[in-house]
Amino acid sequence: MLVDDTGRVLLVQRGHEPFAGSWSLPSGRANPGEDAAAAAAREVLEETGLLVEVESLLGVVRRQDPRGEYHYEIYDYACRVIGGQLRPGDDAADVRWFSAEQLESADLTPGLLEALRDFGVL
C-alpha cells in the first residue's frame, strides 16, 4: 500500500474480472517460492510503474472470489516509492492517487474501504 505525504492512497483500476472497473490496491499472486514482500514490490512495479521498498506488514485480509471457488489470504504491506514513473500497466486500466474524501465515493473492490480503516490509513 502506498500513501503519499498528503495522505492520498494509490489505487489501480482493475482491467479484468473479478471486479473489472473497480479500484483496488495494487495486488497479485506470489510466484512459487517467492517471498510475499518481494511479490508485493513486483506487483506494484507491474501495475503502477513505481519501484517501491516494502517497509512493514499492515495486516492480512481473507477474501473469497465472487464465484466462491477460491479463498485468498491477502498480505497488505506499507511501501515507499524509491523510483519509477507512474503509469498503468499489466492488468491495470488506470492508476491514480485518492484522497480520503475521494475514497468514500469511489467504486472500490468489496471490503477495501473497511480494510483501509482497519489498517489505520483512514
101 by DSSP, 3-state: which?
Answer: helix
Measured distance CA(57)–CA(24) in Å, rounded: 17
Whether the CB-CB separation of 76 and 116 falls below 8 Å is answered with: no
Residue 72: pLDDT band by 50, 70, 90 thresholds?
confident
Superfamily for 9-108?
Nucleoside Triphosphate Pyrophosphohydrolase (3.90.79.10)
> What is the residue extent of each domain of the chain?
9-108
Q: List Cβ neighbours of 3 (8 Å cut-off, separation of 6 or more).
A: 9, 10, 78, 121
Residue 64: pLDDT band by 50, 70, 90 thresholds?
confident
Q: List Cβ neighbours of 13 (8 Å cut-off, separation of 6 or more).
A: 21, 22, 23, 88, 92, 93, 94, 95, 96
Is the pLDDT assigned to residue 90 strictly greater than 90? no
* Residues of the chain above pLDDT 90, percent: 70
